[in-house]
């Protein structure tokens, strides 16, 4: 399935704007190389040698066994005022389940739930042990230098939680001496202030950044339940973030320590059918990661020590609820790599983790001890054209037993630096959450880990000269999930989790990148991605289960996204478009209970000017430029057209 086929399907279904299709077609046509007018320097358009960390395979992107998406620092800097959830909604293949500004935003990948994608910060899992997911709306974009999305990352890489892959966040900024101040403002009472600085010598690197984010989020929306226009109430959010790092290089060794503190206070408005909500949620987190790396010839050792404390407190006077939850984690790991020969690299890891959860929702303090061992060598054959990535991981948990996870990845270079064939087989797992095991009214301590058998195959093409085309990626995948955990009511009406869900997910993903270098120092880049997914329940979970054979809830079968960036001198323009197909709110694909497809167009303009040692950046952004009414989650309104402005001043020391 190519992007052109996807265009055709969407056009025939009349579910995507004809104007958008025409604009894209005209752009591609206009940017074709023309004699005496436009010369595309296609010879320079190679796959970027990005350091891939989301797969734990030390190879450039073109040699990976799975497809990897990278959102680099340039794009993150342009969209700095947004949350990670907003960035991923427009810039990645993920489907972001967004409850609207001020509300929770979680990721869904390849039809699976937000509990089944692993979110990592510098290689450390940060999914909540209690609910198994990460609220991406709480993560500020300006605190990260790089985002990588790998739908095929197996459990062998970073442990349980990656039935549908991994989302990797890096905070490794380039070395510089600078001080920067930024002020943002926008619709619905948005106000964001940030300060950051960095100082680097030959051996020492220090950086610090702080952020204050406030918004009333009192946008107007159309309430289709009551057929009237309303204003969102009780939706204020206030957030603080601070991150500091220090590192030093000492001969063959180097160390780095990063401290990250976050505090958030959100009013919870609930769905638009309930306008009297008084709920409120507090989220606090403190994370401290220290890393030491040392090399001896062909051997490298890396040690990590992570300490974390998070609190999630929920209050709702309407139902007399006061929930307090505190989670503490300590993780240590040692990784070793040894280059045995030009064709073999031996790698492995030993790690241990202690997690404790204290909450008034359990009957006592609950803890989990975990020990893990990993071996993941990298082997090449046939003059380094064939690369094999076998891996085997053992995880021992104190609360539900032992899990063995194997995987095998392969990449073959059919045409030198042009055509690559890749694939992977894996047996993955997802541990039950603390809430599923120990919730006071309905926890089930006998739960097993969710398991999956997954396979994917794809090709990566980097043609030398074709309409400025720099890369094409096509991927097909299939997974079978068993022992899936689902909450169902018992005879007494209390919901209890059990390992009853069996499902399959399969689909096709396509990605095309066009990059054009044109006379007059114009640079244009068009990124497009499309996906087709089918995720179905395959076995009855109870007698008369009508969901068997139907698309699961809130999983769009079709998605299409495109972004066009234009750079010229001091100016940069970014257009982002996304179309998401119909989502069903029931397990039976009931059309009357489904959400219509939606399309969103965002635009960003940035101007940059330097005066002496100070660089100024002025940015203006418009979200939902087409002013559409839509819902991602049923009865949770999304804002119509809204704007943001920012001014950044950076002083080079």
CB atoms within 10 A of CB 475: 22
The answer to whether residues 324 and 360 touch, using CB atoms and an 8 Å cutoff, is: yes
- ∠ at Cα 322 (316, 323), nearest 5°? 115
In the chain, which residues have pLDDT < 70?
Answer: 1-49, 464-467
Of 122, 113, 79, the residue nearest 94 (C-alpha): 113
Tokens of 101: 């500004």
Name the strand (E) or helix (H) holding 389.
Answer: strand 386-397
For the chain, the C-alpha Rg in angstroms (whole number) is 25
Q: What confidence score (pLDDT) does residue 467 get? A: 61
Q: What confidence score (pLDDT) does residue 519 get? A: 86
Total domains in the chain come to 1
The torsion region of residue 496 among left (phi > 0), alpha (psi -120 to 50) and beta comes to: beta
- Can you state the angle between helices 3-12 and 18-30, rounded to 10 degrees? 150
Question: E-strand spans in 538-629?
Answer: 558-568, 571-580, 583-584, 594-595, 598-611, 614-623
What CA–CA distance (Å, rounded) separates 117 from 109? 7
What CA–CA distance (Å, rounded) separates 504 from 482? 9
- Using CA atoms of 411, 413, 419, 424 in order, give the dihedral in degrees to the nearest 10: -10
Distance, C-alpha 95 to centroid of its chain = 9
* Secondary structure (3-state) at 494: coil
Q: What confidence score (pLDDT) does residue 472 get? A: 94
Token look-up 């004809």 returns 18
Question: Residues near 144 by Cβ (< 8 Å), separated by ≥ 6?
Answer: 76, 84, 169, 170, 171
What CA–CA distance (Å, rounded) separates 117 from 128? 12
Tokens of 634: 């049923």
* CATH for 296: 2.40.170.20
CA 381, 384, 388, 389 dihedral sign is positive
Q: In degrees rounded to 5, what are phi and psi of residue 228?
A: -155, 160
Can you give the three-state secondary structure of 402-450, one letter per residue?
A: EEEEEEEEEEEEEECCCEEEEEEEEEEEECCCHHHHHCCCCCCCCCCCE
Name the strand (E) or helix (H) holding 155.
Answer: helix 155-158
Question: E-strand spans in 57-117?
Answer: 68-71, 95-98, 105-108
* Domain extent for 614: 3-652
Half-sphere exposure of 517 (CA within 13 A, CB side): 8
What CA–CA distance (Å, rounded) separates 330 from 611? 47
The DSSP call for residue 116 is: G
- Maximum Cα interatomic distance, the chain, rounded to a whole number of Å: 78
List C-alpha distances in Å: 310 to 28, 211, 238, 333.
48, 19, 17, 21
CB atoms within 10 A of CB 13: 11
What CA–CA distance (Å, rounded) separates 615 from 652? 8
Token look-up 């241990």 returns 352
Question: Residues near 493 by Cβ (< 8 Å), separated by ≥ 6?
Answer: none
The answer to whether residues 605 and 572 touch, using CB atoms and an 8 Å cutoff, is: yes
The DSSP call for residue 78 is: H
The answer to whether residues 45 and 624 touch, using CB atoms and an 8 Å cutoff, is: no
The DSSP call for residue 65 is: S
* pTM, 2 dp: 0.92
Q: In degrees rounded to 5, what are phi and psi of residue 91?
A: -115, 0
Q: How many residues does the chain have?
A: 653
Q: What confidence score (pLDDT) does residue 42 get? A: 35
Q: In degrees rounded to 5, what are phi and psi of residue 280?
A: -150, 145
């Amino acid at each position: 399935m190519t992007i052109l086929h996807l265009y055709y399907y969407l056009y025939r279904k009349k579910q995507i704007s004809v104007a958008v299709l025409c604009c894209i077609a005209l752009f591609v046509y206009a940017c074709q190389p023309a004699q005496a007018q436009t010369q595309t320097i296609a010879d320079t358009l190679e796959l970027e040698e990005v350091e891939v960390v989301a797969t734990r395979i030390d190879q450039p992107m073109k040699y990976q066994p799975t497809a990897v998406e990278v959102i680099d620092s340039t794009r993150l800097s342009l969209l700095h005022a947004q949350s990670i959830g907003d960035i991923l909604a427009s810039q990645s293949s993920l489907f972001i389940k967004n409850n609207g500004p001020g509300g929770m935003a979680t990721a869904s990948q390849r039809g699976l739930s937000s509990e089944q994608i692993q979110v990592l910060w510098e290689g450390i899992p940060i999914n909540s042990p209690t609910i198994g997911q990460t609220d991406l709306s709480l993560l500020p974009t300006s605190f990260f230098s790089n985002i990588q999305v790998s739908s095929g990352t197996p459990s062998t890489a970073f442990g349980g939680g990656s039935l549908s892959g991994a989302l990797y966040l890096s905070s490794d900024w380039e070395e510089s001496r600078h001080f920067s101040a930024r002020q943002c403002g926008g619709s619905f009472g948005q106000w964001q202030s940030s300060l950051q600085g960095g100082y680097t010598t030959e051996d020492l690197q220090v950086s610090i950044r702080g952020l204050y984010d406030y918004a009333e989020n009192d946008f107007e929306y159309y309430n289709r339940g009551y057929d009237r226009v309303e204003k969102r109430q009780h939706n204020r959010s206030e957030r603080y973030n601070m991150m500091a790092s220090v590192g030093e290089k000492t001969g063959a060794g180097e160390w780095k320590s990063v401290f990250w503190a976050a505090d958030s206070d959100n009013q919870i408005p609930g769905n638009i059918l309930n306008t009297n909500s008084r709920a409120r949620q507090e989220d606090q987190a403190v994370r401290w990661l220290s890393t030491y790396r040392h090399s001896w010839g062909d051997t490298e050792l890396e040690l990590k020590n992570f300490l974390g404390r998070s609190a999630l407190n929920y209050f709702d006077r309407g139902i007399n609820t006061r929930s307090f939850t505190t989670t503490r984690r300590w993780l240590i790991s040692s990784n070793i790599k040894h280059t045995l020969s030009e064709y073999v690299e031996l790698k492995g890891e030993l790690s241990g983790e202690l997690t404790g959860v204290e909450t008034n929702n359990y009957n006592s303090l609950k803890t989990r001890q975990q020990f893990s061992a990993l071996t993941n060598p990298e082997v090449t054959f046939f003059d380094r054209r064939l690369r094999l990535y076998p891996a085997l991981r053992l995880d021992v948990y104190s609360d539900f037993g032992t899990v063995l996870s194997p995987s095998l990845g392969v990449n073959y270079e059919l045409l030198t630096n042009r055509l690559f064939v890749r694939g992977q087989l894996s047996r993955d797992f997802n541990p039950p959450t603390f809430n599923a095991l120990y919730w006071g009214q309905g926890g089930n301590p006998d739960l097993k880990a969710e398991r999956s058998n997954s396979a994917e195959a794809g090709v990566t093409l980097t043609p030398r000269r074709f309409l400025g085309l720099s890369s094409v990626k096509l991927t097909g995948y299939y997974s079978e999930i068993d022992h899936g955990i689902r909450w169902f009511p018992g005879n007494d009406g209390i919901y209890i989790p059990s390992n009853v869900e069996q499902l399959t997910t399969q689909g096709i993903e396509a990605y095309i990148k066009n990059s054009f270098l044109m006379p007059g120092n114009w640079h244009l880049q068009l990124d497009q991605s499309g996906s087709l997914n089918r995720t179905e329940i395959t076995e009855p979970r109870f007698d008369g289960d009508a969901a068997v054979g139907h698309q699961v809830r809130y999983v769009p079968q079709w998605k299409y996204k495109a972004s066009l960036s234009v750079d010229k001198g001091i100016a940069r323009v970014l257009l982002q478009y996304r179309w998401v197909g119909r989502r069903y709110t029931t397990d039976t694909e009931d059309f009357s209970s489904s959400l219509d497809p939606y399309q969103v167009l965002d635009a960003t303009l940035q101007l940059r000017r330097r005066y002496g040692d100070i660089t100024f950046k002025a940015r203006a952004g418009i979200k939902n430029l087409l002013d559409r009414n839509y819902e991602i989650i049923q009865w949770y309104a999304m804002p119509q057209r809204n704007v943001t402005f920012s001014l950044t001043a950076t002083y080079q020391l």
